[in-house]
Chain A
Amino acid sequence: MEDNNLNKENKDNKKGIGRRDVLKSLATLPVAGALLYGAFKKKQLEHYKHSELLKTLSLDTGPVEAPSIVEKRNGDTSTLRVGIIGTGGRGLYLMRSLGFIQPLWIDEWTESARINKQDTRIEMYRQMEDLNVAITGISDVFTVHRDAGLEASSNLYRAGTNGKRGEPAKVYKHYKDLLASDDIDAVVIATPDHWHADMIIDAAKAGKHIYAEKPLSLTVEETYAIERAVKENNVVFQLGHQNRQIESHLKAREVVKKNILGKITMVETFTNRNSPWGAWVYDIHPETTPQNVDWKQFLGSAPDHPFSAERFFRWRCWWDYSTGLTGDLFTHEYDVINQVLDVGIPDTASASGGIYYWKDGREVPDVLHVSYEFQKLDMNLLYSATLANSQHRKKTFFGHDAYMELDNDLVVYADRDSTRFKTAIEDGVIPTHSPMITHVPGRGSIDAISSPTEQYFAQRGLLYTYRGGQQVDTAHLHVKEWINAIRHGSPVSCGIKESVEEAITAHMGTVSYRNQKKVFWDRDKKEIVFG
C-alpha cells in the first residue's frame, strides 16, 4: 500500500502540470479562506456586542470627551513675575514645573536616560512648554534651600551644571519683604502648613496672585479668614491639588454624569505608605545649624520651642505645624472625590486611629480611619490610611449598578445585581467578571470594552500604548492653569471654593480624631460642633 502511494507521488512528480497538480496545489487554499471567514465572523460578533454595550451605557450618543485640560489662548504674552516663598523640596518642584530647574537635575536625568532608554524625564522636561515666567524673588528660612532656589531661578535655559545661566532672583530674608516688592505679580507658597494662612492672607492683601500648596489651613477660623482675603482682594487663587489635571479623574466625572454607576452610596479612599520618607521622617540636611535656619521666622505663630532640626525637617509629625494624615494625605484623596462628585462639605465625621508603628516621638497618627456622612447625597465616604504598609488600594466608588476603581487609570465593573443592566447582563452583553468600561492614560476617550486582551490590560491598569498619549507633568498643567487664569481670566479648577471644602472636611477628621468624638458641621454658623 505504501509502495503504491510512493509510486503515485513519483508519477505525479514526473507528469508536469496537470489537473491533479492543480487540485493538489490548491488543496489547502480553502483553509486560508475559512480562516478569513472565521476571523470576520468573530470580529462581527465582537462589534455587535460592543455596540450593544455602548447603547446600554448610553455612550453611543456621542464621544465622551472631557473638556480640554488647560485652555490654550493667544493674547497677553507679557512675562509674569513670580516670587517663591519656600524653596525646600516642594518649592523647588514647583519651580521646576514653572520651567526653572536646578542644573543638577538636568545632569542626573541626562545620565539616567543614557543608561536607561525608558527614562524619558529629560525628554519630557525639554519639551515642557515655556510659560513665559520670570522668577524675580525668593524667600526661605534655610540658607541651603534659599541657595538652591536661587540657582534654579537663574537657570533660564534648562541647562546642566556647565550650562549658560541668566540673572538670578532677588533674595528676601522675610517673606513680607518679598510681598512688598513691586516687581512681583504672583507668588507660589510652598511652606509648612502652619504658615499657609498668614502668607496667603498677606499675599492677597498685597494684591499678589497666589498658588498655595495644600492643605489650605490648620483651622476652621484660618480657612474663612483666607477665603475673605482672597475674595476681597480679587486675586487669582489656586490650591496645589494637581490631581485636578489628571485625565482619568476628568473621565471619571463623565462616567458619573452619565449615571453609569447608578446611585452611589459609598466611596472608599486610601493612603498606604511604608517607608520613613512616606511617614514624613525626611532626611535632616547635614549642614543644618541654628545659624543657617531662621528658626524664629519658621515658628511664626506656632508655640515657642527651642531650635530642633528634627522639627524643622519633619514638621508634619507635630500638631503645631501640621494636621498629619488628614491635612497632608487625605486632602489629596478628598479633592479627587470632590472633583468627581462635587460632594462639598460633609455633615459628620468620625475618626479613629493612633500611633501604632512610628513611635518616634511624633504626635500625629500613623494609622487612621475617618468615616464621613453626606446626608443630602445619601453617601458615606471612608478614608483608610496606614503608614506601615505599602499595599496600593484604589479609590473605589460603589453604585447600585456598577463600581468604579479610579487611579491614573479608570475601570468600571457592572454589579451583578444591577437593576439597570439586568437584561444586558443576562444577554451576555455586559460582563460582570471583567471590566465594562475603561480609560487608560494615553487613550483619548473612555470606552466600553469587549475584547479579552483589552480586558486583561484594563484589569491590571496596564498602559495599552504610550504612542498616542503624551506624558505631561500634572503640576506643570496645574500652574499653567493658574497662570492662564491670571492672564486671561479663565477659571482655575481648585480655587477658593474647592479649597475651603477641602480644608473644612480635613479639619472635621482632625477634630474628631483629636477629641475621640463624632463631629458635626454646622452649616449656618460655619463651625465644627460635637453632637
Chain B
Amino acid sequence: MNKPNYARPQLILLVALRVAIGWHLMYEGVVKIFQPAWSSYGYLMDSKGWFSGLFQNMAANPDLLSVVDFLNVWGLTLIGFAMITGLFSRVAKIGAMVMLLFYFVAHPPLMMADYIFPGEGSYLWVNKNLIELLAVAVLFVFPTGHIIGIDRLIYNYRKK
C-alpha cells in the first residue's frame, strides 16, 4: 500500500486526532487498572438493543466476565498506548474500532432505550462512541504512524 503524503497542517491535525483518541482510550484503561474492583458487569447488564442478550450472557458467566474485564482493561491501555506512540498503528486502529463497535452496540442510543448509566449529553442513534469509531476509521484510511510514530522506524527499516 502506498503511504500518503500530507500537507503540514493535515499531518499535524491527523496526528493530534490520533494522539487524543489514544489518550482517551489509554486513560480509560489505566483508571481501571488503578481500580481493582472495577468490573464491566453493570455496563453489560445494562445493555439494551439488538445484542443485549449476548452482553448480559457475558456478564452472567463469571469466567467469561473475567476475560471480558481483562480484555477491556488491557485492550484499552495497549491500544491507547499504540495510538499515542504510533506503534503498530494499523492493528491498533482495527482493535480500537472493534472495541468502540462493541461499546456502541452494547449501549445504542435508541429512541426507547433508557440506561442506568447516564450519557453526559443527548443522543439519538448517533453518540460519541460512534463518532469516535468513525474518527478512528478516518485515521485508518489516513495513516500517520509511518510519518510521526514508532511505525516510522519499522517502515523505514523494512524499506531499507
Contacts and interface: CB of A to CB of B under 8 A. Distances in A.
Interface of A: 2, 5-6, 9-10, 12-13, 15-17, 21-22, 24-29, 31-32, 35-36, 39, 43, 117-118, 443, 451, 453, 457, 460, 462-468
Nearest to B151: A25
Interface string B135-151: 00000000000011111
Main secondary structure on A side of the interface with B: helix
B30 A39 contact: yes
A451 B36 CA distance: 13
17 contacts: A13-B5, A16-B159, A17-B153, A21-B153, A21-B156, A26-B150, A31-B23, A32-B22, A32-B26, A35-B26, A39-B30, A118-B45, A464-B42, A465-B41, A465-B42, A467-B65, A468-B37
Nearest to B144: A28
Contacts of B65: 467
B86 interface: yes
Contacts of B45: 118
B125 interface: no
A24 to B, nearest CB: 5
Contacts of A465: 37, 39, 41-42
A29 B156 contact: no
B84 interface: yes
A449 B57 CA distance: 30
Interface of B: 3, 5-8, 11, 15, 19, 22-23, 26-27, 30-31, 34-35, 37, 39, 41-42, 45, 53, 56-57, 60, 62, 65, 81, 84-86, 116, 147-153, 156-157, 159-160
Contact of A28 (B7, B37, B57, B85): B85
A117 B57 contact: yes
A118 B153 contact: no
Binding site secondary structure of chain B: helix
Given A17-B157, A39-B27, A457-B42, 13 more contacts: A6-B7, A16-B156, A17-B156, A24-B152, A25-B153, A28-B84, A29-B84, A31-B22, A31-B23, A36-B30, A117-B57, A467-B39, A467-B41
A464 B8 contact: no
Contacts of B86: 25, 28
A2 B7 contact: yes
Nearest to B116: A462
A15 B155 CA distance: 12
A28 B41 contact: no
A466 B41 contact: yes
Given A35-B27, A117-B60, A22 B5 contact: no
Nearest to A451: B35
Given A29-B85, A31-B23, A21 B152 contact: yes
A21 B39 CA distance: 41
B147 A117 contact: no
A24 B153 CA distance: 9
Given A36-B30, A451-B35, A467-B41, A25 B150 contact: yes
A6 B7 CA distance: 6
